[in-house]
Amino acid sequence: MGLRSGDDQAALRGAAYLAGELLRDKSFAPARSLMTSVSHAFLIDLPGNSFQAETVVNAVGSKASMFILKVMGAIRGDKFMVVEPSTNNTLFSFTRFEADKPEFFVRDFPFLAQEARQDPTMFSGAPSALVHGVIDLVLSVPVAEKAITVRVHKEAGTVSVEVKHPITNETVFSLPLASLNNIGKLVETIAQHLVTNPKAAALFS
């Protein structure tokens, strides 16, 4: 919206524009109460270049269980933090690259949120937590002009990560445990491996 290059009224016009867009969003409300079915609430701080989005997440595999999470980041940033409002604990982070994937907020985000709430150290980068945890993710990895679906799996007590075919469950290659510290980097690493190893990429086609 030209906030960086506009005149001294640009921020005011930008705030008015964003307010109008949010008010047209039927799921938006400036405050939440137990009497409303609203699933999202937003707080935008233009002078501070930050935003917060509070959202209701359905627990994976359960229609009755829900919990509230807060997503925070810079307005034009590339990394976002997910926080549990009740404890103010940071559960995990994700990048704009991940957020742009079509099914990230439908599939990956609820899974990561649920796992991180059950074990807050799982995605904190603590080696001991990663060693003892079980990781099982299905990721869509962009390679050239197509997306390749892979399964990322790690058993408890192991120090390597297996990249498997999502249907046959065949292990195609392995990655070091540290690759799980950042999901965005994990996707990039898998994509690079598939680009440099056509035989591995062919197994997913």
What contacts 198, CB < 8 A, 6 or more positions away?
none
Specify the pTM: 0.48
- Quick one: pLDDT at residue 33? 44
- Give the C-alpha separation, 55 to 38, whole Å: 9
In the DSSP assignment, the letter for residue 166 is T
CA-to-CA separations, 30 to 2, 42, 179, in angstroms, rounded: 25, 7, 38
Predicted confidence (pLDDT) per residue in 3-61, tens digit: 455 566 666 677 767 766 666 665 555 544 443 445 677 777 777 778 888 888 876 65
**Is residue 178 exposed (0-12), middle (13-18) or buried (19+ Cβ within 10 Å)?**
middle
CA-to-CA separations, 96 to 13, 22, 79, in angstroms, rounded: 25, 20, 6
User: Of the ranges 15-19, 41-45, 71-75, 118-122, which one carries the lowest mean pLDDT score?
Assistant: 118-122
Task: Tell me the domain boundaries of the chain.
Answer: 10-95, 127-203
User: Of the ranges 152-156, 164-168, 187-191, which one carries the lowest mean pLDDT score?
Assistant: 152-156
